[in-house]
Every structure is written in structure tokens, then in C-alpha cells.
Amino acid sequence: MNAIAVVSGKGGTGKTILSSGIALTLTKRILLENEQNPKVLIVDLDLHVRGISLLMYRDPSDLKEIQITSHNLLNLIPNTISIDSLAQDLKNEVFVISENISVLPSTNLKSSIDWTKIHKWKVLEIIQKLEFLIDAAEKAGYQFIIFDTRAGPDNVSLAASLASDMTLIVLEQDRVSSLISMGLMGEIEYLRNKIAKTEARVPISRIAFLQNKVLKSYSADTERVLMDLTFLPAIPLDLEFLNYYYLDANKFMLSGQILNTKLGQHILKTTIKALDDMRIKFTIIPLKGLKQPKKELEIIKFVRKIPGRFLVALAVTFETFALINFILFQFLPERYSEVLGLVGIIFLAFSIYRYYIEDQKPKNDYFMIDNEESSRETEEETK
């Protein structure tokens, strides 16, 4: 069983998208030693925002009826629930995204949370509860559990870091984010050393920094602040991905289309490095069952490069010339007028397509990539 905690020192770093992207990558792009895709349980530990719960549910209103939540379990474990009973619930009661991904939401939309009680939870107590949950998930047949936590440090996110095999600290490229992330790592290490002095057992957790939304491939400023620390491959800022994502976030993530994007390829590289650091043996498999780029005729590709207004001008020019020739001068045979008119109609049709169809839909061609080429590049880089 492998537990991964995704944390951040501040909000807006994109850790929820990365958590779901890593889960999708594990189940669709990674093959373990037993020749099977791993089964992943995503646990939403952000009791305040419920980001990944709302993102990964096809209909957020379904959250109203959910009974088994991370908030409930943290209250019940281990006093009023057995590990066998919890394992059975994790098999049957959690929301199934796909064959190998399930989500344990933080709360449902009906019940209220007693925040005063949550803030009294002790880190060591939460660690023990999360370890209980990890053991139950393993018994339920999961190979990975991913904890998506709230922005900034709190008792739950710190406990998730200490209970996991690997902690990913997601940060942005600016210096403030780097300093905050350094402070978060310091808090995790401080608590680890403090707990180690007691009789409590704390797993040896690897900590890695993951730069997200970077404007260039490498940040010299971040290097100066966080030198000699472990970094996973940085993930570039992708504004066109965000534009498409904002149109229909649930559909985009649940369908797995993120894996077929440039962002998906960077998440794959990050996941590969994380698995290597965790010393997990695996193989990469090509994408399957996802939308592939449509092949276009060369003439279509050529015409698409022509500005729409120029196409309109060509259409008007040909039609005007054909009309003048046909009505007034007739210096060309009649059949040439028909040909000119037909060419004008073709350019006009391309203009209408460009203006009213293509320009109105999301530019998702940017995301579609050649899977064979991208897989080959990824394998070369990982070697």
C-alpha cells in the first residue's frame, strides 16, 4: 500500500487538479509488476472547501446523500468501527469514478461540521486514524491512497504528510510561495522529530517539491531558496488548458481528457519520478480509449492558416469577377464564369466555417497530442 499526501503552503497552487491528475495517470498510464493497473482511493481531507469532492462527482448534488465521508471516519475511527467493516465500506459505499478510482468525499452537503471539535484534534491522534484508514484501504484492494488536503498547514494536512509514504508540496514559482513551502516542510520535520521522541511509530515519508504553473522550465529564484531539496519535474503554466477546463471541469476530468493534454504529459513525468523515488516497479502504457486528434486533409490545414477576412475577400472577389464577366463583358467563356463562381462559393463556405463554427468552439486542438510521439519523449527523458 502506498500513501501520497498532496499539500501546499498557500491556496491557488493547483494541488487539487494535480491530485486528480496523478490518480488518473496511475490508473490509465501505469502498469504494476502484477501486470495490472493500480486501484486508487482519493481521500478529500479539505473539510473547508471540498474541492476534489465537487470536482470528481459527476453531479455535486449526489454529495447530499453520501454517508461515508472522511469527516465522519475521522470521528468514528477506531472507536466505533472495525477495520473489516471500514474495508467493506470502502469497497461498496464510496463513489466510483471509474473501474480503478474511487473518491471518499470530505463531507456531504447536508451535515454541518463542528469546527471547534476539529480544531481540538491532535496531530498524533489524526495520524493513527489515517493509518487505520490506509490499512482498511489496503484490505479493500487499493494499491494507492491519495490525500488531497486544504491549502496551508493545519492538523489534518500535517498528519496526512506524516502518515504517508510520500508528501508532495505543491508551490508556485514566486519567492513567497517558495518561502512558505520551506516553512511547511520545516513544520512537518519538526513534528516528525517531536513524535519520534515518543513511543509512536511514524512512517518514513519522503518529501518532494512540485512546482506548478511555472512560466519557464526552471526557476533560478526557487533554486536559491530551496537548494539541495528534492524537486519533481516542474509543470508549466497552461492557459489554454485552464480555459478549456473552466468550460466543464467535471466532464474534462472524469472523462480522462486531461491525460491527453500537454499538462497530462507533464503530470505523467511527475508521477514517474515520484514512483521511482518510492522504489515502485512499473511500466508505462500508451493512452487508450481517449479522444485522438482528427487527421485533416492538407488542403484543410492550408486553408485554416489563411486569415478569415482574407477568405471573405477572396470569395467576394471571385464572385464579383464571375458576375461581371457573365452579365457585362463575357470576355471569358461561360463555363469559366461558373468555375469562378464555384471557387468563390468554396471560399465563402470556408469563411462561414471559420467565423461561425471553428471560432466559437474551445481551441482543444492545442491539447491533442500525438500519443506515440509523447510516450517516446517521456520514455527517453525518464531513461
Q: What angle do CA 96, 101, 107 make, to 5 degrees?
A: 60
pLDDT at 334 (0 to 100): 61
Query: Which residues is 96 bridged to in the sheet?
Result: 102
CA of 336: how far to CAs of 314, 330, 331, in Å? 17, 10, 10
Q: In what order do the strands lie in the sheet with 101-104?
A: 95-98, 101-104, 40-44, 144-151, 2-8, 166-171, 206-214, 235-236
2-290+368-382 fold: Rossmann fold (3.40.50)
Residues 6+ apart with CB under 8 A from 123: 155, 158, 159, 162, 191, 195
Paired sense of beta strands 282-284 and 30-32, if any: antiparallel
pLDDT at 374 (0 to 100): 46
Phi then psi for 350, rounded to 5 degrees? -65, -35
Burial class, 34, CB count within 10 angstroms (exposed 0-12 / middle 13-18 / buried 19+)? exposed
pLDDT at 331 (0 to 100): 59
* Closest to 96 in 3D by CA, of 47, 140, 161: 140
pLDDT at 74 (0 to 100): 81
pLDDT at 184 (0 to 100): 92
**59: amino acid identity, one letter:** D
Query: Which residues is 182 bridged to in the sheet?
Result: none
Residue 128 in 3-state DSSP? helix
pLDDT tens sequence for the chain (383 residues): 899 999 999 988 989 999 999 999 998 888 888 778 899 999 999 888 878 888 877 666 666 667 788 888 888 777 788 888 888 888 887 877 777 898 888 877 666 676 667 677 788 888 989 999 999 999 999 999 999 999 888 889 999 999 999 999 999 988 888 889 999 999 998 888 888 777 666 666 789 999 998 886 555 555 555 555 778 888 888 777 777 777 777 777 877 788 888 888 889 999 999 999 888 888 888 776 444 445 455 655 566 666 666 666 766 776 676 666 666 556 556 666 667 667 767 767 766 666 555 444 444 433 334 444 444 444 454 44
The domain locations on the chain are: 2-290+368-382, 298-360
H or E stretch covering 104:
strand 101-104
Q: How many residues does the chain have?
A: 383
Query: Which residues is 366 bridged to in the sheet?
Result: none
Q: What is the CA radius of gyration of the chain?
A: 27
pLDDT at 6 (0 to 100): 95
